[in-house]
Amino acid sequence: MSSSASSLKIGLGIIGFGTVGQGVWKHLAANKRQMEVRLGVKIELIGVCVRDPDKKREVQIPGTQIHTDPNKIVDDPRVNILCELMGGTTLAGDITLRALRLGKAVITANKALICEHGTKIFEAASKHGGQYFFEASVAGGIPIIKSLREGLVANRFSEIVGIINGTCNYLLTRMEKEGLSYETVLHDARRLGYVEADESLDLDGVDAYHKAVILAFLAHGKWVPRKSTLVEGIRNVTLEDIRRAHDFGYRIKHLAVIRRNFAKGLMTLGVYPALIPLDKVLARVDGVYNGISLTGDVVGTTTLVGRGAGQDATASAVIGDIVDAIRVLKGSAFHFLTQTDLAAYATLGASARMATLEEIHTSFYLRFKLRDKHGVSAEVYRILAEEKISVARVIQYEHAATRQGTHTLSTHPVTEAAMERALRKFRKLRTVLEPPLVLRIFSPEN
């Protein structure tokens, strides 16, 4: 950071100039003067790093500022703030650690990296005097990281439930409202820049898992390993299921659910498509919007809604972090949780044990394709009875032409383990024509 008589110069480096990187510079450049006056600094873009310097880009910057070697930017002494907006975990991790060890401020939208290497990164920042900011990593335009670390810090959270993958929500909403196919809507989501470079991260629930892990860490001080969670995507959800869910009084949303039972010392984390009652606020969060409901012992339930993916919402969060970083660099800001606090956060989670499948109770929706023949549903009910799974509602649809039937039912709460055992038995039934679709039914009580 260099200073002149009138103002400090802040040098910015951007690693990754794709959807998010270009959005950050586009909006920052447009509001730069106003930002500089507010902060009393001069902001200068030192350089950006990309893979392909010849690619046609929406946002133009001089060729001399475009590099392909990230270290050219990381090591440049003029760069005080580094925005890691390239994604991935290997090179992005190396760059992040290198910059933090040089005492720089690093800003990211990279939830996969935090989820995988959060401990190492927070420790490096704490040890070497770097700063790490990651508001853009979860729920784009919703300031959920700040809410957990600052505004809602008085609380112990028994439940955090959210729609935190914009792509899944966009797909499910447009399939439902416009009757469009999964592939058609996915094509639009890609064009709009919502989808990860590796799109299975979105479609298989992994991106939501990464974000849920970050929220769980901030709320409970525990890095939740993948093996202790339920992670499912939306690939198996069909238009038919969306319609059937309506018949039962629900909408299907891809949810992240983090629960903590403080009395029993138990915690659960799951991300999966779930049926959610039509009258819940989250059931009405549509399109690329995200929504997060947090239930704390002091505040009660607070729900935050905003755009969860895309260039502008994500850029808004990154720019907010750039402003925080500048304040810290100026030494003028009281930053609520320091890097040392964040690194030490993990000690808080020691008292929470991840619940086993025998300890997690959920209501389920099941959809079977059955041969249209007497006695076939009796076999399904025999298995449900063996596993002590009690049925709440049943709707059956006949397809006379194909001599098949669709049998849908909802259950009362049962353990995940009992449902897993039942599913193994269903798969062996010759009268069940394809593996049944199983979705969880969200209810605040289970």
Which one of residues 55, 264, 399, 403 is an interface residue with ligand NAP (CB under 6 A)? 55
CB atoms inside a 10 Å sphere around CB 135: 26
Residue 349 interacting with ligand NAP (CB under 6 A): no
Given ligand NAP, ligand HSE, none, residue 87, with its beta carbon under 5 to 8 Å by kind, binds ligand NAP
Based on CB atoms, which residue is closest to ligand NAP, 55 or 424?
55
DSSP 326-357: HHHHHT----SS-HHHHHHGGGGGGG-EEPPT
> Segment contacting ligand HSE (CB under 6 A): 67-75, 189-197, 363-371, 435-443?
189-197
Which one of residues 202, 204, 241, 321 is an interface residue with ligand HSE (CB under 6 A)? 202
CA distance 209 to 85: 19
Given ligand HSE, ligand NAP, none, residue 165, with its beta carbon under 5 to 8 Å by kind, binds ligand HSE
3-state helix, strand, coil in the chain (%, to 5): 40, 25, 30
Residue 243: its H or E element: helix 239-247
Based on CB atoms, which residue is closest to ligand NAP, 24 or 418?
24
Asked whether 412 and 384 are in contact (CB, 8 A), the reply is no
- Candidate list 104, 111, 211, 369, residue with the active-site label: 211
Residue 309 interacting with ligand HSE (CB under 6 A): yes
The contacts of residue 44 (CB under 8 Å, 6+ apart) are 9, 10, 11, 12, 78
The contacts of residue 311 (CB under 8 Å, 6+ apart) are 19, 20, 22, 23, 193
Asked whether the CA dihedral 316, 317, 319, 320 is positive or negative, the reply is: positive
CA distance 267 to 146: 22
Contacts to ligand NAP from residues 99-128, by CB under 6 A: 109-110
Phi, psi of 79 (to 5 degrees): -85, 115
Based on CB atoms, which residue is closest to ligand HSE, 43 or 83?
83
Which one of residues 123, 207, 286, 324 is an interface residue with ligand HSE (CB under 6 A)? 207
CA distance 345 to 336: 13
Which one of residues 140, 162, 270, 291 is an interface residue with ligand HSE (CB under 6 A)? 140
> Segment contacting ligand NAP (CB under 6 A): 83-91, 119-127, 371-379, 395-403?
83-91
Phi, psi of 211 (to 5 degrees): -70, -40
Given ligand NAP, ligand HSE, none, residue 252, with its beta carbon under 5 to 8 Å by kind, binds none
Which one of residues 310, 320, 405, 436 is an interface residue with ligand NAP (CB under 6 A)? 310
CA distance 104 to 12: 11
Based on CB atoms, which residue is closest to ligand HSE, 136 or 418?
136
DSSP 152-215: TTT--EEEEEEE--HHHHHHHHHHHHH---HHHHHHHHHHTT-S-SSTHHHHTSHHHHHHHHHH
Cα 141 to its chain centre, rounded Å, is 12
Shortest Cβ 125–ligand HSE spacing (Å): 22
Judged by CB under 6 A, the number of residues near ligand HSE is 11
Which one of residues 10, 12, 20, 418 is an interface residue with ligand NAP (CB under 6 A)? 20
Which one of residues 91, 153, 239, 350 is an interface residue with ligand NAP (CB under 6 A)? 91
Based on CB atoms, which residue is closest to ligand NAP, 56 or 374?
56
Residue 196 interacting with ligand NAP (CB under 6 A): yes
DSSP 371-439: ESSTTHHHHHHHHHHHTTPPEEEEEEEEEGGGTEEEEEEEE--EEHHHHHHHHHHHHH-TTB-SPPEEE
Residue 233 interacting with ligand HSE (CB under 6 A): no
Residue 314 interacting with ligand NAP (CB under 6 A): yes
Shortest Cβ 195–ligand HSE spacing (Å): 6
Based on CB atoms, which residue is closest to ligand HSE, 162 or 405?
162
Name the residue with the smallest CB distance to ligand NAP.
18
Contacts to ligand HSE from residues 148-167, by CB under 6 A: 165-167
**264 is a catalytic site residue:** no
> Segment contacting ligand NAP (CB under 6 A): 25-33, 81-89, 219-227, 392-400?
81-89
CA distance 313 to 109: 11
CA distance 261 to 446: 11
Task: List contacts with ligand NAP (CB under 6 A).
Answer: 16-21, 49-52, 55, 85-87, 91, 109-110, 136, 140, 193-194, 196-197, 309-310, 314
Active site residues: 211
Task: List contacts with ligand HSE (CB under 6 A).
Answer: 140, 165-167, 194-196, 202, 207, 308-309
